[in-house]
């Protein structure tokens, strides 16, 4: 749900609407945590895409908390960066 919401917002309002760019990277922080960085470049920074308002941002906040993840947003210049620190056990599939 998290990445569906990010992609939808990017397609409607962000870097996928015009001449922007989208970078997605995943890094292993340690044996317990994974960091996923979603960066949109060349966009207009607004309260909506930095998490100030909107149902989508509430959904992101709730969903990340629900799996024990941490989400931070940073809008600077024409770049929006969203870091999601996810506990590895939240990514494991149960049988």
66: its two tokens: 């629900």
pLDDT tens figures, 5-15: 899 888 888 88
Q: What is the DSSP letter of 52?
A: S
How many Å apart are CA 85 and CA 55, to the nearest integer?
Answer: 21
Question: Whole-prediction pTM value?
Answer: 0.83
pLDDT of amino acid 49: 56
Q: What is the CATH number of domain 2-90?
A: 3.30.565.10
pLDDT tens figures, 17-66: 878 899 999 999 999 999 999 999 988 877 655 555 678 888 888 999 99
φ/ψ of residue 5, rounded to 5: -65, -45
Domain ranges of the chain: 2-90
Q: Write the CB contacts of 1 (distance below 8 Å, at least 6 apart in sequence).
A: 59, 63
């Amino acid at each position: 749900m998290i990445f569906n919401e990010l992609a939808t917002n990017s397609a409607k309002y962000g870097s996928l609407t015009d001449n922007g760019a989208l970078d997605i990277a995943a890094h292993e922080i340690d044996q317990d945590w994974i960091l996923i960085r979603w960066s949109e470049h060349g966009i207009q920074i607004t309260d909506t895409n930095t998490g100030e308002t909107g149902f989508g941002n509430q959904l992101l906040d709730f969903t990340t908390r629900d799996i024990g993840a941490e989400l931070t947003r940073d809008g600077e210049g024409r770049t929006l960066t969203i870091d999601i620190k996810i506990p590895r056990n939240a990514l494991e599939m149960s049988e």
